[in-house]
Amino acid sequence: MTTTATELDQPYAVSPGAVDQYAADGYVKLRGVLSPDVVAHYEPEITEQVLRINTQHLPLAERNTYSRAFLQVENLWRHSDAVREFVFSRRLAGIAAQLLGVPSVRLYHDQALYKEAGGGFTPWHVDQHYWPLSTDRTVTAWIPLQDTPTELGPLTFAAGSHRSGYGRELEISDESEAKLDTFVTESGFRVDDSPYAIGDVSFHSGWTIHRAPGNSSTTPRRVITVIYMDAAIEIAPPANPFQQGDLAAFLGNRAPGTVADGPLNPVLH
């Protein structure tokens, strides 16, 4: 096992304060979860797979709002042993389990979100609109593969919005941006758009309202996310066409009411 792979499996001590912050705010940003050397080791392979698998080739000016926001490539772990090593990190999964307060977590899926130079904003939205899962015991690790100052488009959270129940029927779109922006402003949620240093990782709930500004720099914002779920979570009947698609893509079309324990969803911690 390589030194970098060994670090990926070493535990990270999540403080009680960080667990409390996650429960209260629906997200937490943890500093120095990964060393710069680990990020630098895996970034070239992740980027190579993104560029190889990506199917979006229209110029930015010819895309809609969602497509201008980023290049999105899912389940990279199935295409590369090195990416699999990264995505299956026990260090990251252990943090997810501690934040959720569960004994163990499974992989839901990974996805790369590469915001190109000049790429547009990511609209306000909630993730779990897309997931046919029975509880809110889900968390996404958002892992930048470089320093991410404001101009690159860091992930931005509306703190405490996961408890509001608002906007859960909205797909990510110009409509979700407009409606949720008004809601976030009028509700007085604290908005956290602080930058990330390389090695920082944020974790957010499936119902936390979040967005990202556009990338006004001349370099891409390279990010991989890993989505975890309580290892005991059950599949819910799909509530919309997106959840039907996720059921097929990430859950092997397993029957609602059964534990999401198929071959695509290994226990990682």
- Residue-level pLDDT at 5: 72
Kindly report whether the global pTM for this prediction surpasses the value 0.85.
yes
- Residue-level pLDDT at 32: 96
- Residue-level pLDDT at 2: 59
* 136 C-beta neighbours (distance < 10 Å), count: 18
Residue 227 token pair = 């989505």
Q: What is the DSSP string of 233-262?
A: -BBPPP-SHHHHHHHHHHHTTPPTTSBS-S
3-class state of residue 108 by DSSP = strand
Residue 254 token pair = 């397993």
- How far apart CA 186 and CA 143 sit, in angstroms, is 30
Name residues whose C-beta falls within 8 Å of residue 216's C-beta, 6 or more positions apart in sequence. 118, 151
pLDDT tens for residues 52-100?
Answer: 999 999 999 999 999 999 999 999 999 999 999 999 999 999 999 999 9
3-class state of residue 38 by DSSP = helix
**Residue given tokens 């501690």 in the structure block:** 98
Q: What is the DSSP string of 196-224?
A: B-TT-EEEEETT--EEE----SSS-B-EE
Residue ranges in the chain modelled with pLDDT below 50: none
| Strand ranges inside the chain, DSSP E | 27-30, 71-74, 105-114, 122-125, 138-144, 156-158, 191-192, 201-205, 210-212, 223-230
Residue 233 token pair = 């979570």
Percent of the chain whose pLDDT exceeds 90: 97
User: Are the CB atoms for 30 and 18 separated by under 8 Å?
Assistant: yes
